Copies of this chain bind each other. A is one copy, B any other.
């Protein structure tokens, strides 16, 4: 006798994973060089050289037990200080180290925030489509409900009319993700301001605060002069979750954080509940060596210029071929309308030609496909003629 709900979650293959497996089989037939995997969001650029240098220096300078011992559960004071120093210098804020809780990647930070705000079994968390598919797992597999706001097509900001309809007495929180996976859009100042105004008014009307979780792993990946507003400047009850997976290209090392500022409503109780959630998820401390790396390198970013190059090549190539694409302002995903309106059908046609792109349905946005362009540029160059052929056959 096992948990049926967890079995369903664990045995359901993610679309990108299914495509990956298909690609391996198809490669035997048409050759690995003719498989173009645009499914996975695994950063393709190296971590900055400073990360490796920092590890060498830590191993040379610090004692074995200092490197390998447990840190406080929220993280070492030095690493937490590096995080808030960086935030304070960029956003003119005055956070202190104790406002930060380091975690094994952003996932436990997000789960800690979500679980902290699930006051009872009716509690609802709102996500704005398209959204990172794991939000549903984080909420629903930990006793909450996920309520989805349909996408704002074609702007990929927020459909406020639909959002307002979904805020009710059970609404405890809302998660936003900008720069966005999978659409590549960035919420403008106007969007954030309008969201803050709505949440403030609704909190007053309902008589309880609605917390806002700003999930920002792609904050540093934006193109041109696009601005990513600092959300707590607009709305007091904001938690920020972050990961170094993308900015430092360290996805395998599992290091991220949650910012739980003094300004949020009922801060002491929220923080206590977050700590309880961390224990319930087995989050003992973030990996100690990488806490030390963050203390030294947390303000740096990998060289991500190739993402801009890839975006331009892919967006220009696809639109020239006649595809209807959302121009990515950030992250490393391009969201494309299915030429025949049916994303699943187009994904199936494309994979026959070796092009692996998942449908947007799992992200709450049917009719679209996600193209990850954190890939070698050459893969895009060689795939574009196939994209051109594909649209002509429809």
Contact = CB atoms under 8 A, between A and B. Distances in A.
Nearest to A11: B272
A279 B10 contact: yes
A116 interface: yes
A3 B116 contact: yes
B138 A280 contact: yes
Contact of A288 (B119, B253, B285): B253
Given A251-B69, A284-B105, A119 B279 contact: no
Interface in A312-362: none
A105 B71 CA distance: 14
Contacts of A282: 103-105, 107-111, 138, 281, 283
Contacts of A250: 68
B8 A276 contact: yes
Given A119-B1, A284-B254, A279 B9 contact: yes
B59 A52 contact: yes
Interface string A3-14: 111111111000
Contact of A280 (B44, B55, B142): B142
B69 A52 contact: no
B6 A280 contact: yes
A168 to B, nearest CB: 13
A368 to B, nearest CB: 24
Chain B CB within 10 A, most for which of A7, A44, A70: A7
Given A249-B65, A254-B287, A115 B59 contact: no
Interface in A243-300: 249-254, 266, 269-291
Interface in A69-90: 69-71
Nearest to A76: B252
A208 interface: yes
Interface in A208-255: 208-209, 249-254
Contact of A6 (B9, B137, B208, B273): B273
A42 interface: yes
B4 A119 contact: yes
Interface string A136-171: 011001110000000000000000000000000000
A279 B13 CA distance: 12
A18 interface: no
Given A1-B119, A3-B273, A289-B289, A70 B252 contact: yes
Given A6-B280, A10-B277, A209 B252 contact: no
A252 B3 contact: no
B2 A266 contact: yes
A64 interface: yes
A389 B279 CA distance: 39
A157 B273 CA distance: 36
Interface in A91-145: 103-105, 107-111, 115-119, 134, 137-138, 141-143
27 contacts: A1-B266, A3-B116, A3-B273, A6-B115, A6-B276, A6-B277, A7-B273, A10-B273, A11-B269, A11-B272, A43-B69, A45-B65, A47-B64, A55-B55, A64-B249, A68-B252, A68-B253, A69-B252, A70-B252, A104-B104, A137-B280, A141-B279, A252-B285, A252-B288, A253-B287, A254-B286, A287-B287
Interface of A: 1-11, 42-47, 52, 55-56, 59, 63-65, 67-71, 103-105, 107-111, 115-119, 134, 137-138, 141-143, 172, 208-209, 249-254, 266, 269-291
Given A1-B119, A105-B284, A281-B282, 6 more contacts: A9-B280, A10-B274, A67-B252, A68-B252, A70-B252, A142-B280
